């Protein structure tokens, strides 16, 4: 069986290569990586989801109707364009947790001050709880992820106003 260190080395090697997909099997252990070629995080308000309509008989081709209120860019991009703001992103794929346990208070909320070593959340990956630090001194302007949400590598989690 592969160790966590070996799996991390494989992830890094595949990430840095031109490979789109990687499959490894040995002694009953199977590891499969697949790169995504499109953006992995997009925020689309519920009211702006396209509606597909088709006749009941199915004789005509379905038509796609777009709602007018499609959000063009995620909230983190909007916030960065407003000034000198820093975005804390997820360093890995996993599950976002805003608190150390379900009955505990969130690590941080909008308006809270953080230092470089302040823990802002946990990202669980492969049953390991990884504490994510702010790595910058400032004030939390916006929390972009929901508790229990699956997050992707590089997905914006928080917007911080540096101090």
Residue 45 lies in a domain: no
Q: Are residues 30 and 76 in the same domain?
A: no
User: What is the C-alpha to C-alpha distance for residues 31 and 41, in angstroms, rounded to an integer?
Assistant: 24
Residue 63, in any domain of the structure? no
pLDDT digits 0-9 by tens, 54-96:
555 554 444 444 444 444 445 444 444 456 899 999 999 999 9
Backbone angles phi, psi at 80, to 5 degrees: -65, -35
CA distance 85 to 7: 34
For residue 105, give the DSSP letter.
P
Asked whether residue 80 falls in the same domain as residue 155, the answer is yes
Structural domain span for residue 8: 4-34
Those residues whose C-beta lies under 8 Å from the C-beta of residue 136, and which sit 6 or more positions away, are: 86, 88, 114, 116, 160, 162
Task: Tell me whether residue 46 is in a domain.
Answer: no
CA dist., res. 161 & res. 163, Å (int)? 7
With cut-offs at 50, 70 and 90, classify the pLDDT of residue 119.
very high
Query: pLDDT averaged over the chain?
Result: 77
């Amino acid at each position: 069986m592969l160790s966590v260190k070996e799996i991390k080395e494989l992830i890094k090697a595949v990430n840095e290569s031109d490979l789109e997909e990687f499959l490894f099997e040995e002694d009953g252990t199977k590891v499969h990586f697949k790169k995504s070629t499109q953006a992995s995080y997009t925020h689309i308000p519920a009211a702006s989801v396209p509606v597909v309509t088709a006749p009941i008989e199915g004789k005509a081709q379905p038509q796609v109707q777009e709602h007018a209120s499609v959000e063009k860019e995620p909230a983190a991009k909007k916030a960065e364009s407003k000034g000198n703001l820093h975005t804390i992103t997820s360093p890995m794929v996993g599950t976002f947790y805003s608190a150390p346990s379900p009955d505990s208070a969130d690590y941080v909320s909008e308006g809270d001050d953080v230092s470089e070593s302040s823990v802002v959340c946990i990202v669980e990956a492969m049953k390991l709880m990884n504490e994510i630090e702010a790595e910058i001194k400032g004030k939390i302007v916006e929390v972009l992820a929901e508790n229990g949400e699956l997050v992707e590598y590089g997905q914006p989690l928080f917007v911080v106003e540096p101090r």
